[in-house]
């Protein structure tokens, strides 16, 4: 029998019965029907070997005699059903006992069916065929579920990758590629949002705009590459002055940098501006065309308490006026201007 065994796509059966005539009859019937068949005794020497064979071979159905001396068929079923590698096998009990308690015990242990002896061969064939069909259906469902799970995982991974790519793209749209500060577009959006927030909270909003002194002469003297390096250094100094999560440092223009400072009064904003000056003094970037001999910036600072009568543009205009004044007064200095609120309309 062992030489005739082959795994069959139609189904594979292991027979454990101490009656040789039953084994031969069942084996011949199922083999002729195209099933793969093995049995304890003719193919496998003992029950322990059968249990090992179950783990190695792909059996769909186990025909298990409960009346073999010194073998507890129910315990065999319990072991098979408690092992993740074998618990999918459909166990069909063969027994001389027609006792309801024995039948219930078999089903409680995970048995798929129970056939009493003496049995009709056609009945055994029909019941085994039914279990194999059910096993096949379960395998199809499991395969479909596995495929569905893989598709879901792939879909989730794709969605996460898409979201991450969109997030990176959104960040790129907000970042100046040279200085890695926020760009002017995001600066404008952030100022609008912060303005509304400060208006609701009825607190102050400060703005700083820095301009590199004599930057055109710097480019002419040292070249564009060095000019880009200079912009990056000033961006670093500007970024280091930002201490709170709500503050925003941005590249405001070609050689201009800005910082939005929510909940910040005049003294706090001026302190941030001085921090930028000190950082550039520490860097001491050579600038032969600057009277100081090193790179400097002019800084305009302004503060406002947003209200419904004002628009963010007034803060920008006032800060740029302060910056222009710093330039006019000799550069390398900080000028503060308070936003002048418009006169209230006459009644």
Fold exhibited by the domain 2-144: Rossmann fold (3.40.50)
pLDDT value for 238:
95
pLDDT value for 43:
62
CATH 3.30.70.270 in the chain is located at 184-338
pLDDT value for 239:
93
pLDDT value for 39:
83
- Structural tokens at position 270: 């001026």
pLDDT value for 76:
87
User: pLDDT tens string for the chain (347 positions)?
Assistant: 343 445 667 889 999 888 888 888 999 999 998 898 888 766 665 677 777 777 777 789 999 988 877 778 888 899 888 888 888 899 999 999 999 999 999 999 999 999 998 888 899 999 999 988 888 888 888 888 888 898 899 888 888 887 877 766 666 678 898 999 999 999 999 999 999 999 999 999 999 999 999 999 999 999 999 999 999 999 999 999 998 999 999 999 999 999 999 999 999 999 999 999 999 999 999 999 999 999 999 999 999 999 988 999 999 999 999 999 999 999 999 999 999 876 654 44
CATH 3.40.50.2300 in the chain is located at 2-144
- Structural tokens at position 196: 């509304």
CA–CA separation, 177 and 208 (whole Å) = 21
Select 184-338's CATH number: 3.30.460.40, 3.30.230.10, 3.30.70.270, 3.40.50.720: 3.30.70.270
pLDDT value for 155:
86
pLDDT value for 161:
80
pLDDT value for 7:
65
pLDDT value for 291:
93
What 322-329 contacts at long range (C-beta under 8 Å, 24+ apart), as own/partner pairs, is 322/209, 323/209, 323/210, 323/211, 323/298, 323/299, 324/300, 325/300, 326/298, 326/299, 326/300, 327/211, 327/213, 327/298
In this prediction the pTM is 0.55
- On the 0-12 / 13-18 / 19+ scale of CB atoms within 10 A, 253 is exposed
Question: Quick check: 43 and 81 in contact, CB under 8 A?
Answer: no
Which residues is 259 bridged to in the sheet? 208, 249
């Amino acid at each position: 029998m062992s030489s005739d065994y082959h795994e069959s796509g139609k189904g594979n059966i292991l027979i454990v019965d101490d009656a040789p005539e039953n084994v031969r009859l069942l084996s011949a019937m199922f083999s002729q029907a195209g099933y793969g068949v093995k049995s304890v005794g003719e193919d496998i020497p003992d029950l322990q070997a059968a249990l090992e064979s179950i783990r190695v071979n792909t059996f769909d159905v186990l025909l298990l005699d409960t009346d073999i001396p010194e073998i507890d068929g129910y315990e065999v079923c319990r072991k098979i059903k408690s092992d993740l590698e074998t618990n999918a096998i459909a166990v069909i009990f063969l027994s001389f006992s027609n006792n309801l308690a024995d039948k219930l015990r078999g089903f409680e242990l995970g048995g798929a069916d129970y056939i009493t002896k003496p049995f009709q061969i056609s009945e055994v064939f029909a019941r085994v065929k039914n279990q194999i069909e059910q096993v096949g259906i379960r395998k199809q469902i499991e395969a479909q579920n596995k495929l569905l799970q893989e598709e879901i995982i792939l879909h989730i991974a794709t969605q996460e990758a898409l979201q991450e790519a969109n997030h990176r793209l959104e960040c790129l749209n907000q970042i100046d590629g040279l200085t890695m500060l926020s760009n002017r577009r995001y600066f404008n959006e952030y100022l609008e949002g912060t303005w509304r927030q400060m208006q609701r909270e009825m607190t102050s909003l400060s703005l700083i705009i820095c301009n590199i002194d004599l930057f055109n002469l710097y480019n002419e003297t040292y070249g564009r590459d060095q000019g880009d390096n200079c912009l990056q250094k000033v961006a670093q100094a500007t970024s280091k002055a930002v201490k709170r999560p709500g503050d925003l440092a941005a590249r405001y223009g070609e050689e201009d940098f800005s910082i939005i400072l929510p909940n910040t009064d005049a003294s706090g904003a001026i302190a941030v501006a001085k921090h930028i000056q000190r950082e550039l003094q520490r860097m001491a970037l050579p600038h032969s065309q600057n009277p100081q001999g090193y790179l400097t910036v002019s800084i305009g600072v302004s503060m406002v308490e947003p209200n419904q009568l004002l628009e963010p543009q007034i803060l920008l205009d006032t800060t740029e006026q302060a910056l222009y004044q710093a330039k006019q007064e000799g550069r390398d200095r900080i000028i503060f201007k308070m936003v002048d609120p418009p006169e209230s309309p006459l009644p």
